[in-house]
A = this chain, B = another copy of it.
Amino acid sequence: MLGSDYEGQDCSVARTLELVGERWTLLIIRDAFLGRRRFEEFQESLGIARNVLTDRLGKLVDHGIFERVRYQERPERYEYRLTEKGYDLRLALGALMQWGDEHLSPTPPRKLRRTSDATPVRVAFVGVDGEPVAPRDVENVPA
């Protein structure tokens, strides 16, 4: 699963970055969460070189984070949809966004809220009882 870059790093963070740590990849996934699905939409939003976008989308499909779905027959056109596996990255993106909001963006441009009642949502550590746990009370130990 590991490529040559982080080889020898037996760690789920390293394995995750091996897949989504390339430049632009997490921003493509962010765009997908914002509703973008088509090559032209990603390209316009990100302003990156088309060959780079092609490469990143291809890898994301190979790794099962996006699926490539035909939405038009003549001419054939495809769009990119997040799989369940891709959708599960939402929490990590939410945590990165929250850190940026707190430390880098005096006026955060976007916010997370609960769809059902429009109340604010944040990312947090929670215990087995479902209660929030303070970061200082969390330790990372061998499994």
A interface residues (Cβ-Cβ under 8 A, vs B): 1, 5-6, 8-17, 19, 21, 23, 26-27, 30, 33-34, 46-47, 85, 87-105, 107-116, 119-128, 130-133, 135, 137-143
Residue of B nearest to A117 (CB): B127
Question: Quick check: A12 and B92 within 8 Å, CB to CB?
Answer: no
Measured CA separation A130–B88 after assembly (Å)? 21
A58, chain B: closest CB distance, angstroms: 19
Q: Which residue of A5, A27, A96, A124 has the most chain B CB atoms within 10 A of its CB atom?
A: A96
Question: Quick check: B143 and A110 within 8 Å, CB to CB?
Answer: yes
Question: Quick check: B97 and A121 within 8 Å, CB to CB?
Answer: no
Question: Quick check: B110 and A139 within 8 Å, CB to CB?
Answer: no
